[in-house]
Structure 1
Amino acid sequence: MADLIYQKISSSLREKIDNNEFKEMRLPDERSLAEEYGVSRSSIKRALLSMSEQGIIFKKRGSGTFVNPLYSKEETYFNYSGNNLGISDSFKNEGQKLGIKVLRFDVVRSNEEMQHNLFLKPGEFVYSFERLRFLDDQPFMIEAGYIPIKLVPELTEEIASESIYNYIEKELGKEVNKSYLTISVEPSIEESQKLLNLSANEPTGLMSGIFFLDDGTPFEYTSMKTHYKYFKYNSFVDMGNG
């Protein structure tokens, strides 16, 4: 419950930041925020710490807490935060409608690569699926994923047509909150050009890697090809504790 409280506060504050509700880019002090949200100051501290670690806000000693000016300036589309790293929750869509179309949904025997990446034994089966993601009915991502059947025994194509990560969080009480991703750019192939409405000379952004459950179990091995117009990210580096 404590996790849910600070996540809701962080989400609310980010929404206010996106709506330019803080004059001079300055947030109220912790006491005022605690009174506004009706929670303890420890919950406010945790929410602010989370936002600070993401580079959304920063504290200026003796002056208060401020919005990072680059956060609102940069048009970053993915904003991984909280305990759920699913695309549906992490996409900074600013009110735009997200959609998913399942292109393929199968059950297959894991190969050597899947076994290595998902810590499976020979002969274990995985869900193999491909999905096309939309933003306001415009395709922007082709996602190919592999999930061990033993982790989500009742996964269906219908569930895969929405957020799988929200499903396992709600129905199974599990969270996907760690990932190891490789990010690169590659020439688009004919399939990508057709699905993402790209011309032959336009590239795709590629994210590939492994997503982990909160207990460290590898949950999904995935590859995500993104339309180049939506392939933009920010990185916040804090070496203050080094």
Structure 2
Amino acid sequence: MTDFVYRSVMRDIKQNILKGNYEGMRLPDERSLAEHYQVSRSSMKRALGVLAEEGIVFKKRGSGTFINPLYLKNQALFRYEGSNLGLTDSFKWPGKKQTIKLLNFHVVKATSEIAQDLFLNEQDFVYEFKRLRLLDNQPFLIETGYLPIKIMPELKPEILQSSLFNYLEDEQNKTVTKAFLNITVEPSNSEDQKEMKLTPTEPVGVMDGIFFLDDGTPFEVSNMRVHYHYMRFNTFVNLNR
């Protein structure tokens, strides 16, 4: 799969930040960075923009772009890479490898609720899939998702065994940039206990959400049940928007 230029630039800048290669906690100006990486100004601007949105760097008007000291103290809070809101990136844990096991995948007619959430007709069909996510060999999340066939008519089971959102960006140049999430905690059910090796008295975190493409199109309705050991929610608030 292709790797967007700005992603490679972002990775290298992050590595240079962690190595302490930027004097005074300040990055070179945009033009100098573009020349150094031999990329266009627009690619460089996007890379710096995403780093700023993630909270890794911040721009001080008239002074330049600076490194957020909190990033150096705890990189785990800033672990997402790219412009998508996918779980594969947002649930990365240092030293642990994430894998995905596809539990089921089929086409169903949209219920009235799913049709409403995805702006479909009730006669439209959607993909329904269930995935189990693991960190090393520990199952930590059960994800049930629904997405319109018309957005990804080529969806195959093997695509769902890795990051769906990154596939969408790499292969279709579309990004998932917005989401409405409802986050709660509730007792684990029998499936949670079986798949995530929980006892009947252990709870799960529950995230229900609707994810949107950058053009505003609803892309997926998802229910995620998370092992309580891994239920961490971090956010970066930008009040300029």
Q: Same fold (TM over 0.5)?
A: yes
Question: CA offsets per residue over residues 166-188 of structure 1, 9 Å max, x none?
Answer: 33333334322222222222222
Percent identity, aligned pairs only? 52
Superposed displacement of residue 217, structure 1: 1.4
Give the match for residue 161 of structure 1: 161
Is contact 1:77-1:232 (8 Å) kept? no
Question: CA offsets per residue over residues 186-209 of structure 1, 9 Å max, x none?
Answer: 222222122122233332222211
Superposed displacement of residue 75, structure 1: 6.6
Q: 2-side partners of 1:46 and 1:178: how far apart?
A: 17
Give the match for residue 147 of structure 1: 147
Give the SS at the match of 1:212: strand
Give the match for residue 117 of structure 1: 117
Structure 1 residues 205 and 218, CA, compared in 2 at 3 Å: closer, same or farther?
A: same
Give the match for residue 127 of structure 2: 127
Give the match for residue 52 of structure 2: 52
Superposed displacement of residue 52, structure 1: 1.9
> With structure 1 as the length reference, what TM-score do the two structures score?
0.83
- Point out the more displaced range, 20-29 or 175-184: 20-29
Is contact 2:77-2:234 (8 Å) kept? no
Is contact 1:204-1:226 (8 Å) kept? yes
**Alignment of structure 1 residues 4-153 onto 2, 5 Å:** 4-17=4-17, 19-22=18-21, 26-30=25-29, 32-40=32-40, 43-59=43-59, 65-74=65-74, 76=76, 79-94=79-94, 96-153=96-153
Give the SS at the match of 1:144: strand
Structure 1 residues 60 and 172, CA, compared in 2 at 3 Å: closer, same or farther?
A: closer
RMSD of equivalent CA atoms: 2.9
The runs of 5 or more residues in structure 1 that have no matched partner are none
Give the SS at the match of 2:150: helix
Give the SS at the match of 1:238: coil
Q: 1-side partners of 2:147 and 2:102: how far apart?
A: 15
Is contact 1:76-1:232 (8 Å) kept? no
Is contact 1:77-1:93 (8 Å) kept? no
Superposed displacement of residue 7, structure 1: 3.3
Amino acid paired to 2:232: K
Q: 1-side partners of 2:12 and 2:66: how far apart?
A: 16
Structure 1 residues 62 and 113, CA, compared in 2 at 3 Å: closer, same or farther?
A: closer
Structure 1 residues 235 and 84, CA, compared in 2 at 3 Å: closer, same or farther?
A: closer
Q: 2-side partners of 1:21 and 1:44: how far apart?
A: 20
The runs of 5 or more residues in structure 2 that have no matched partner are none
Is contact 2:5-2:43 (8 Å) kept? yes
Give the SS at the match of 2:144: strand
- Point out the more displaced range, 53-62 or 145-154: 53-62
- Point out the more displaced range, 207-216 or 22-31: 22-31
Give the SS at the match of 2:4: helix
Q: 2-side partners of 1:48 and 1:117: how far apart?
A: 33
